[in-house]
Amino acid sequence: MSDELDFTGRRRRRIITAASAGNFAEWYDWGVYGVVATIIAEKFFPSGNAALALLNTYAVFALGYLARPFGGIVFGRIGDRLGRRRALSLTILFTCFGTALMGVLPTYAQIGVAAPVLLLVCRLAQSMGAGGEYASAISFVFEHSAPRRRARNVATLVATTFIGIMVGSVLARLLSSVMTPAAYDTYGWRILFLLGLPFAAFGVYLRSRVEESPEFEALQRARSEATRVATPLRDALRRHWGAMLVFVVCTASYALISTTVTSYLTTFLTSTAHLSKDDAYTATIGSNVFVLVGTLVMGVVCDRFGLRRTFVAGGLVTAVLTVPALALAATGTGGAFAGAAAIGLCKGLLALPALLAISQIFPTAVRVTAGALAYNVAQSVFGGTGPIIGVWLDQQTGGPYGLAFYLAALALVTTVVAACARRVFDVRHDESAQSGSAAAVQR
């Protein structure tokens, strides 16, 4: 693809902003759910056993992830057959309405066991939209970019979406500060979820004003001359299952560290490090600042050294730093801030290669389907279970070391597999987009 397809200035901001809108909402919800997990445990589950209620809260979180691979299949098919922009407009609606509905649910005290059931339904709807969101948005930016800047452009997209996590933590921190504890406990937390509605309206508006990606338009022209109907799911599973499997294994550590920082860190800091709720919110915000820094740095590194080497570097640093970072975070206020910053940096180092790989290792014809399905399988198996495994391991070990060693082991697997998978990570599908797209349709 020629450099003329690279975007700068106003057009670049418009494309990335439109692609970021749904991802911002997705991660905003993930951040809010994590920082108010203890309140959700009180409101939606029987009282009397706080630890069990918290485990149930994260069990609902984990079950919600079951909808992500299904969402990846549904919206991946839409993205690969009807266009990236069409998929993006639909995913943001599912994501944001699922988030907003959680803000109006009745509690366990009001309707009994129906309360956690409804909470799960909302999580499933939200997760289904999220399942197609990331792959569609990353492919959209990836295909609008010239090869020499693809990692940096995707890094900007990813960093922008992580701001959603920070906004969730910042708003929770502000509301808990300006409202009385009783008011925040009664309805303040609901405001955080209801903000999903304006996010949906704003995102749909932005995405309606951008053009389809050049690579997908080339693919559509090739398909118009072909005799076969596009079958992205079948083609992905038949021809690219090996790359999808490598992707799942390599991104397991990112899936786990993602939910560790996003949806478990605040609970960890309050229950294990014994920080106040406000200090835990602040430390989580600081952690996400380092996520942004790590992501943007790795965008530059990846454009220079390549995807595979960047993956290896991120996995190795995470394997080394995870245990001391979480151990430090459990030592008190100062250690909590330093440990949270270190684990946030590790997430940023893994985020860029993991998310860039969604688009780079798969051809245009199956890019969203293959990337979304593989990414969401990893997120479901390793990410969705992360918080509940974290709570259980820390209860069993009496400290942070169970989860820390689990994460370090997955990061080491990332390092080894990425180093060996040259045929997957060093491939470039974009350099003959039009001819490759036509071949993919006609085979």
pTM of this prediction? 0.80
What is each CA distance from 182 to 40, 186, 400, in whole angstroms? 15, 6, 31
Q: What is the pLDDT of residues 290-312, one digit of tens each?
A: 999 999 999 999 999 999 999 99
Higher pLDDT, 306 or 18: 306
Mean pLDDT value of segment 71-77: 87
Mean pLDDT value of segment 324-333: 88
Contact 284, 333 (CB under 8 A): no
* pLDDT classification of 176: cutoffs 50, 70, 90: confident
Say what the pLDDT of residue 393 is.
78
Higher pLDDT, 223 or 87: 87
Cα–Cα dist 390/341, whole Å: 19
Cα–Cα dist 166/163, whole Å: 5
* pLDDT classification of 414: cutoffs 50, 70, 90: very high
pLDDT at 430 over 60: no
- Mean pLDDT (the chain) is 82
Lowest mean pLDDT across 131-135, 137-141, 394-398? 394-398
Angle between helices 84-101 and 196-207 (to 10 degrees): 170
> Left if phi > 0, otherwise alpha if psi is -120 to 50, otherwise beta: which for 231?
beta
* pLDDT classification of 431: cutoffs 50, 70, 90: very low
How many domains does the chain fold into? Answer: 1
Cα–Cα dist 166/347, whole Å: 14
Mean pLDDT value of segment 40-50: 80
Task: Please report, rounded to a whole number, the percentage of residues in the chain having pLDDT higher than 90.
Answer: 26
Give me the helices (H) in 272-385, please: 277-305, 307-329, 333-360, 367-378
pLDDT at 441 over 60: no
Say what the pLDDT of residue 354 is.
94
pLDDT at 190 over 80: yes
Say what the pLDDT of residue 8 is.
58
Mean pLDDT value of segment 47-55: 72
Tell the residue number behind the tokens 């640093």, with chain if given.
317
Say what the pLDDT of residue 399 is.
65
Lowest mean pLDDT across 101-105, 164-168, 174-178? 164-168
Domain, as residue range, for 117: 3-442
Higher pLDDT, 60 or 191: 191
Mean pLDDT value of segment 70-89: 86
* pLDDT classification of 288: cutoffs 50, 70, 90: confident
Q: What is the pLDDT of residues 98-131, one digit of tens each?
A: 888 888 999 988 998 898 888 888 888 888 887 7
Q: 393: buried, middle or exposed (CB in 10 Å: 19+, 13-18, 0-12)?
A: middle
- The length of the chain in residues reads 443
| CATH number of the domain encompassing residue 226 | 1.20.1250.20
* pLDDT classification of 355: cutoffs 50, 70, 90: very high
Mean pLDDT value of segment 125-139: 83
Residue 1 in tokens:
């693809």
The three-state DSSP-derived secondary structure of 224-269 is: HCCCCCCCHHHHHHHHCHHHHHHHHHHCHHHHHHHHHHHHHHHHHH
Question: Among the ranges 53-67, 202-216, 233-247, which has the highest mean pLDDT value?
Answer: 233-247
Say what the pLDDT of residue 356 is.
93
Q: List the one residue out of 344, 339, 326 whose CA is nearest residue 289.
A: 344
Higher pLDDT, 332 or 430: 332
